[in-house]
Amino acid sequence: MTTLKTKLAAGAAALAASLMATGAANADALSTPAMTAPLAANPKPASFDMLGSKIYVTGQFTALALFQDNAIPGDKKRRVDLSNAQIEVQKTDGVFQFYIQAGAYSLPSLGAGYLKASDTPDLTFHYVPNAYVKIVPSANFNVEAGILPTLIGAEYTFTFQNMNIARGLLWNQEPAVSRGVQANFTQGPFSGSFALTDGYYSGHYATGSTLLTYTVSKTDTVAFAGSVPFSKTTKTKFATPVTLNNGEIFNLFWTHSQDAWMVEPYLQYGHVPKYLAGGVTDSGSTYGAAVLAKYTVSPVFSLAGRAEYEGSSGGTSLLYGHKSKAWSLTATPTVQLNTIFIRGELSYTHLTDYAPGSGFGKLGDHSSQTRAMIEAGFLF
């Protein structure tokens, strides 16, 4: 029997195909969903007019293959899966705007087992991972309310948004999607966002977060991001463990873009307090550093890379056991021709001071994992 989810996905695909067949708007690529080069959104997104406004429809259909050694318990050495089957509908002009993103997705990340796209939405952010209304009273101020992308971290939630296929070790510590309200402003070289949300998608609306950015020059930008819970919660789910729900996290970023290069080093610090009611018997902290980089070889070919380190301290296990540490290296060559792309990825992750049974392999007794991935698809 055809499920409701299947019917919705088929209907969304039919709508997108119809819109593309009737003609695309001659517009610049939309800024939402945000994407980090080398992948680029369709510069001529499909659109239709409704009540005097232009409604844009974009989307992604991508698949991946994964090969790895020392798979953790429950994972496999080889997989083929969808990574994105998503569609976005949005209005980007006027005082009232909106954004809706819907579909299936997987969220591959280093140091963690792979979860299939058929299971990921039910265990994480469901089949509408982002949806919000946006009130824009002026060119330099707006307010958003709904299911929002996080303000924390250098990597976005979905594979097509990032320069690497899999997110890194630092991303594993950060919130990805939050529900709440957010205000944004710009003033000259400064921009800032302030949000009151449920943090790690906990359903407990008591987390304040911010992202402050300063454009130093045409080539350099610095930024600070932070997230702090104002009260504690015992809520815990697959995507929002009780430790992170009650923790605070901070980032410092520097982004340099010049000629063929884009380089972004950033720092991360997180702290989880002792909270006996939530089962957190001791405090713990994480501290990490990463460098993301991309070099454009030609208009259709580029090479991206990432190097990162994540450590932990305190009595609560936030990585792979008490005071465990990890580092990783990733390389991702990418070819994109118009809206079609293919990219490969090779990564290596290494653990130190990990607890027995918390490492890689069937018994959790291996200290490293090498992973190769291929992702291909189109961005309509």
Quote the Cα angle for 39-34-121, to 5°: 95
4-379 architecture in CATH?
Answer: Beta Barrel (2.40)
pLDDT per residue rounded down to tens, the chain (380 residues): 334 343 333 333 333 333 333 333 334 689 999 999 999 999 999 999 998 899 999 999 999 999 999 999 889 999 999 999 999 999 999 999 999 999 999 999 999 999 999 999 999 999 999 999 999 999 999 999 999 999 999 999 999 999 999 999 999 999 999 999 999 999 999 999 999 999 999 999 999 999 999 999 999 999 999 999 999 999 998 888 999 999 999 999 999 999 999 999 999 999 999 999 999 999 999 999 999 999 999 999 999 999 999 999 999 999 999 999 999 999 999 999 999 999 999 999 999 999 999 999 999 999 999 999 999 999 99
pLDDT (0 to 100) of residue 18: 37
Residues 6+ apart with CB under 8 A from 113: 71, 72, 73, 74, 75
pLDDT (0 to 100) of residue 206: 97
Tokens of 280: 């957190």
Phi first, then psi: what are they for 354, rounded to 5°? -80, 150
What distance in Å separates the CA atoms of residue 187 and residue 212, rounded to the nearest whole number? Answer: 11
Q: What is the mean pLDDT of the chain?
A: 92
The CB density around residue 202, as the number of other CB atoms within 10 Å, is 26
Tokens of 380: 């309509």
What distance in Å separates the CA atoms of residue 78 and residue 271, rounded to the nearest whole number? Answer: 35
What distance in Å separates the CA atoms of residue 325 and residue 184, rounded to the nearest whole number? Answer: 36
Gyration radius of the chain's alpha carbons: 21
3-state class (DSSP) for residue 79: strand
Domain segments of the chain: what residues? 4-379
Quote the Cα angle for 370-270-146, to 5°: 95
Give the pairing of strands 190-197 and 368-379.
unpaired
* pTM to 2 decimal places: 0.90
pLDDT (0 to 100) of residue 254: 98
pLDDT (0 to 100) of residue 239: 85
CB-side exposure of 199: number of CA atoms within 13 Å? 31
Give residue 69's identity as a one-letter amino acid code. D
